[in-house]
Structure 1
């Protein structure tokens, strides 16, 4: 076995929990003044959390926004200071988790995150923020939530398309972990488990949205995939998605779903072992498709968007996107060449199946 280094992340994870446990988790942190965070679409979930917390809740902020714009964070920090809160309770998906992380980055407030999607960002010490049309990321334990509480009942009303795209978003975390320079046997094993859990649960959820066993599998997969990304580094896939999200305001999970098979195909010749593990996790080792093609076909079969054109990106924006992506060097199995990146983006824009 090759030498490796593995740093475990210091977080408390509760599977099969319920909102009724929020109060004891706030107290366990030594806190008594929680600020609840949600999106405008999840006001009810925020009020439900407030009802469970009772006197432990000092306010609710419903302003969480995709791609974590800094002006939203600045307003939320002002509210947190005004209310003198001593912890954050985030109920929602990646947007809400992102706002909690951004506040924690500025204030060091502890976080309790209750995910309602399968994005997996709650398990990472990574934050992406958008300012002046540019999305940047950083990795710091200051933004790693102290507690993650997985309540499967909160995912039962997640719309089918959001279920699918947030699941593929999570799979992308594990895929990139498998070919990261920091990969190791522990994370590789967890990545395969995460990919397998989500890939087998998504068709079941679409067929039967109230299948709690399938929803539980997806939540475990989301945590596993997020933990993988949190332990190692990001590569081409995530950088392209951050470019498209931050600079062109494309929806986060849908963009991840579309870009993933194309980024995999770009890297496949330089990461054959990783691709073999992905195929094994998908159960497609003998099907005769590449791992990238299998991911593309699964997304298409489930009815996910498969082209950037569907998301409203203009073809004339592809050159600028390629320039931005190529202008920021980062570790990746394949060399980052501007013309090849432009071709990748062109295929993703048109929805072409990877070769």
Structure 2
């Protein structure tokens, strides 16, 4: 066993019902005196309550999916104009992503308060979109200094969106099993993340107003993001980043739909990872575990339901091909990508990919 693993420096607090007090404490720890709060218009009231006891100089509400460069530049200018010294972001992945864009050029510390299960708050990964192309990278400046997890803040998240967001987290776990920099620690974190998400998500769907399921999903989402930040982007994320940036598809739903197809494509070529995933699900196979979970929570099924046109499949496959990780468990051709995208567009049985792979 030979590997190197870097653990990211970050304070993480699970504080059910106490987000405001926890945020105040984190801002004080960072000696913040001029706080910029980033939250979408839809989250403005919630963000106001969460940041009621910190010295806010600016509330920035222009949050756009996939973080367009122009929106990032406006947020950076606003932070500079108001001489902000701490960023507090309250919301989902797009909100955290915008805070990261500001931190990338300013070095300002971030206190992240997630209201979804996106996991961006636990990674040093940033992403910006310009001219229908999404660019991602890693930088220690964008890693939030602190995360405040409060499951009560997710209670307003509709069940359907909770399912998509949690399956996005699950995709982080699965991709981390065979991503470019994966190691045994990443795989252990990802396995526990799968277990927690598989237990918590059905409970959340069954009792949306109860905290137990939502806390398990938050815990699993955090583990998934820590694993992903270390392991790097695998085939699944390369596909979804292109689809999101080029076609403006919704982030969580895209990940939720694509996941079973990448799993089916890679599983046979990565038997040890497949066994870990199956074991985490408590299932006979990784496919069976994922399929059972998706059926239990009425998961999103087809990319055509979320904005991808059939005519875009070929161009998307060409765009993805250049970013496929060299050490993906199985070689990936343009034809493979077309088959994956078409099956995901249709919502076809993912096992048809596995059978095609055996024939080839």
TM-score, normalised via structure 1 length:
0.95
**Structure 1 residue aligned with 2:339, among 338, 343, 348?**
343
Residues 269 and 169 of structure 1: CA distance in aligned 2, closer, same or farther (over 3 Å): same
**Match of 2:67, SS?**
coil
**Match of 1:59, SS?**
strand
Q: Deviations over 1:117-171 (max 9, x none)?
A: 1111111111111011100110111111100010111011110011101101111
Report how far residue 226 of structure 1 moved. 0.3
Runs of 4+ in structure 1 off by over 6 angstroms are none
Kept in 2, the 8 Å contact 1:257–1:299? The answer is: no
**Residue 111 of structure 2 is aligned to residue 116 of structure 1:** no
1:66 alignment counterpart: 65
Where does the alignment leave 5 or more consecutive residues of structure 2 unmatched?
352-360
For the residues of structure 1 that align with 2:19 and 2:33, how far apart are their CA atoms?
19
**Match of 2:12, SS?**
strand
For the residues of structure 1 that align with 2:72 and 2:291, how far apart are their CA atoms?
35
Report how far residue 183 of structure 1 moved. 2.2
Alignment of 1:174-185 (within 5 A): 174-185=173-184
For the residues of structure 2 that align with 1:284 and 1:19, how far apart are their CA atoms?
40
Kept in 1, the 8 Å contact 2:177–2:187? The answer is: yes
For the residues of structure 1 that align with 2:299 and 2:350, how far apart are their CA atoms?
16
Report how far residue 328 of structure 1 moved. 2.7
2:31 alignment counterpart: 30
1:98 alignment counterpart: 97
1:282 alignment counterpart: 281
Report how far residue 233 of structure 1 moved. 1.3
Alignment of 1:134-145 (within 5 A): 134-145=133-144
| Aligned-CA RMSD value | 1.3
**Residue 214 of structure 2 is aligned to residue 239 of structure 1:** no
Kept in 2, the 8 Å contact 1:173–1:226? The answer is: yes
1:43 alignment counterpart: 44
For the residues of structure 2 that align with 1:283 and 1:187, how far apart are their CA atoms?
19
For the residues of structure 2 that align with 1:50 and 1:189, how far apart are their CA atoms?
35
For the residues of structure 2 that align with 1:210 and 1:329, how far apart are their CA atoms?
40
Report how far residue 297 of structure 1 moved. 4.3
1:294 alignment counterpart: 289
What number of residue pairs does the alignment pair up?
348
1:196 alignment counterpart: 195
TM-score, normalised via structure 2 length:
0.94
Alignment of 1:232-271 (within 5 A): 232-271=231-270
For the residues of structure 2 that align with 1:153 and 1:19, how far apart are their CA atoms?
12
**Residue 19 of structure 2 is aligned to residue 18 of structure 1:** yes
For the residues of structure 1 that align with 2:233 and 2:48, how far apart are their CA atoms?
35
Kept in 2, the 8 Å contact 1:241–1:255? The answer is: yes
**Match of 1:301, SS?**
helix
Kept in 2, the 8 Å contact 1:35–1:80? The answer is: yes
**Match of 1:3, SS?**
coil
